[in-house]
Amino acid sequence: MPIVGVAEVVDREFDYIICGTAGLTLAARLSAAPDVTVLILEAGNPNLHDPAILVPAQYLRQLGDERYDWKFTTTEQPHCNNRQYVWPRGKGLGGSSATNFMAYIRPPVEDVDAWEKLGSPGWNWSNYLKYSKRGERFTEPTNDQTISHRHTFEQQYHGTNGELQVCFPSLISASEVPYHVAMNNLGIGTVKEPLGGNVNGTWMSAVTIDPKTLKRSYAVTSFLEPSLERNNLFVLTRATVERVLFQDSATSLGRSHLAANSVVFRRNGKSFEVTVVREVLLCAGTLKSPQILELSGIGSRQVLSPLGVQHHIPLEGVGQNVQEHVYFGISYEMDPAKEWHTLDKLKDKVWAAEQMRLFDSQQGIHTLGLAGFTFTPMQQVSPKASELISAQCETLEAAYVNGKISPALWEQYKIQMRVLQNASSVDMEWTTLPQFRTFRTQPEEEKQYMTVLVALNHPFSRGTIHIASKNPDEQPVMDPHYFEDDFDLQLLIEGFKFARKVAQTEPFKSCIVREVDPGLDVQTDEEIREYIIDGLMTAFHTVGSCSMLPRQMGGVVDPQLKVYGTQNVRVVDLSIVPLHIGAHTQATAYAIAEQAADIIRGVI
């Protein structure tokens, strides 16, 4: 059924109510059964058929634009000179799948298996791969792409019958391959198939782009639009979920659990209530799903009572265990004698208009996709690795013995320490971005740039996300606790140094004129530290605020994704991830939805 109005919703009851469009894949799977009804409530606009979303090279255009971006901000970060940081998130149907960089990357085997080791049977690499392949429709690269772009793959790790289009970009920056080869020349091997559970090395990423149209493939085009003609699927946009309402009931075991019977949402300043028959599924993402739980009276009494929220279920883990990938950039001016295919020239409105016309015939800069990624263990790139890792492990062990680390967090840290100590497990990431993406210096007109993004994958710092008031329109208090554990920052400093080493290695060395930001005046660890803090950015990969863990370990949902203390409320989004992964999170978000669909339908 096409997108509906309030009148078509409020007088009906629905088997499943999905709060947030991280749930579009889930909605498509559940509504495939004609005897159930599914309602999706999305707070943003539809944004259907929008070039700002569909044209691949427009992926940074939405950031900061309230039509597409919630424009969240963090609290002041005491370990970052009290800076506040912007946290962009996708606003509208499809959520952040409409605004991400389209990289399709699966995590290492051990990162997913860690979820099962932390107490969630069935959440392991074997199932992850099965469910990730289910929704994938992979198109092989051409022979020319394989030769010129170094696009490689192994068919066994790809699905071909799903809805999400996955391919290799038809156009990449001319700087990608030289950078890739420079990594090889420094001893970083090429990974033939990073989607197979090993990302240790350098490689060219697959992307979620339709190879026929060269447009973004995302949750709307892949899962929602093909399902809109179903008369049992209802989509209401500009509907902000206020809270879930419960009636008291009990399980057959006699333990008190709450059953959700309706969802209250606000639209155009008015509140409405809609009845649920089977389940409420929270899919509002890591930043908003804990807000809905807390506004519904589920969470810590210390958070809810001072704000006047009626407390229904004590669940201390709501909004805790927040983990985020962060990165910063090092920008380079490219040799002007060559065309590098960068996005900097889009500032020229005449040239940009011509490129948009070319895109209509699947040509030009707007077909450009991100490609170059390198993931390594710290030991491979830093001469200080052994010293830093030993010191970190000793510090954590002493803190645990002294009672400064809870037993629950200690179980996570033990896994993270094993990753650190394993010389084949990835800790560090470098991504190439074909444009100027730093903030210390203004780029010059007519020049071409490339930015190397240095990222943190397994942070030791843990943040929080909690409501600020009873008002669902007020942004939650988002405190990532950046660099509360200083090892996170030390790792990025070592990543900075290695990025500079790559820039001095051929053939990439001959591609660049100079390092623009931060510039060679930045040399000492303290100077590098300040540069990182000043230029730090979110990677949009926040996880953990509704962690899938045993309740006594701070869990919010069980392995069936059901919120503890409820009969029929589940969380299905990246907030359930209990321990962060060495990968970008798009593929993981889809895999979680696929596995959740089978859990809800009773298949597993």
DSSP per-residue letters across 492-561: HHHHHHHHHHHHTSTTGGGGEEEEEES-TT--SHHHHHHHHHHH-EE-S--B-TT-BS-GGGT-SB-TT-
pLDDT of residue 118: 99
DSSP label at residue 347:
G
Distance of CA 541 to the CA centre of its chain: 3
User: Whole-angstrom Cα distance, residue 312 to residue 55?
Assistant: 45
User: Whole-angstrom Cα distance, residue 135 to residue 475?
Assistant: 33
pLDDT at 250 exceeding the cut of 60: no
Q: Which domains does the chain have, with CATH numbers?
A: 1-74+84-134+217-321+542-604 (3.50.50.60), 139-215+326-377+425-456+483-535 (3.30.560.10), 381-423 (no CATH)
pLDDT at 75 exceeding the cut of 60: yes
Q: How confident is the model at residue 252 (pLDDT cuts 50, 70, 90)?
A: very low
Instruction: Give tens-digit pLDDT for 490-515.
Output: 999 999 999 999 999 999 999 999 99
* Active-site pick, 257, 481, 541, 580: 541
Backbone angles phi, psi at 516, to 5 degrees: -85, -55
**Quick one: average pLDDT of 88-115?**
98
User: Whole-angstrom Cα distance, residue 238 to residue 234?
Assistant: 14
pLDDT of residue 2: 79
Is residue 241 marked as binding?
A: yes
Q: How confident is the model at residue 248 (pLDDT cuts 50, 70, 90)?
A: confident
**Quick one: average pLDDT of 138-153?**
93
Task: Tokens for 568, please give them.
Answer: 């029929």
Amino acid type, 383: P
Residues 211 and 170 sit within 8 Å (Cβ to Cβ): yes
pLDDT of residue 416: 99
Distance of CA 502 to the CA centre of its chain: 27
Q: Provide the strand spans (E) within 402-473.
A: 428-433, 449-456, 464-466
Instruction: Give tens-digit pLDDT for 549-588.
Output: 999 999 999 999 999 999 999 999 999 999 999 999 999 9
**Quick one: average pLDDT of 301-313?**
98
Q: What is the average pLDDT value for the chain, to the nearest integer? A: 97
Q: How confident is the model at residue 60 (pLDDT cuts 50, 70, 90)?
A: confident
Instruction: Give tens-digit pLDDT for 483-492.
Output: 999 999 999 9
User: Whole-angstrom Cα distance, residue 134 to residue 166?
Assistant: 12
Instruction: Give tens-digit pLDDT for 1-21.
Output: 779 999 999 989 999 999 998
Residues 448 and 333 sit within 8 Å (Cβ to Cβ): yes
pLDDT at 406 exceeding the cut of 60: yes
H-helix or E-strand containing 267? strand 256-267
**Quick one: average pLDDT of 395-422?**
98
pLDDT of residue 254: 42
Residues 581 and 588 sit within 8 Å (Cβ to Cβ): yes
Q: How confident is the model at residue 249 (pLDDT cuts 50, 70, 90)?
A: low
DSSP 373-398: EEEE-GGGT-TTHHHHHHHHHHHHHH
Active site residue 541: yes
Dihedral (Cα; 402, 407, 410, 414), 10-degree rounding: 110
Q: How confident is the model at residue 370 (pLDDT cuts 50, 70, 90)?
A: confident
Percentage, residues of the chain above pLDDT 90: 96
Task: Tokens for 57, please give them.
Answer: 């090279």
Q: How confident is the model at residue 251 (pLDDT cuts 50, 70, 90)?
A: very low
Residues 311 and 301 sit within 8 Å (Cβ to Cβ): yes
How many other C-beta atoms lie within 10 A of the C-beta of residue 353?
11
In this prediction the pTM is 0.97
Active site residue 584: yes
Q: How confident is the model at residue 253 (pLDDT cuts 50, 70, 90)?
A: very low
Q: How confident is the model at residue 61 (pLDDT cuts 50, 70, 90)?
A: confident
User: Whole-angstrom Cα distance, residue 260 to residue 580?
Assistant: 30
**Quick one: average pLDDT of 164-176?**
97
Percentage, residues of the chain above pLDDT 70: 99
pLDDT at 298 exceeding the cut of 60: yes
DSSP label at residue 215:
P
| 4-13, 254-263, 331-340, 546-555, range with the lowest pLDDT | 254-263
Nearest to 588 by CA among 222, 131, 158: 131
Tell me if the bond preceding 78 is cis, omega within 30° of 0.
no
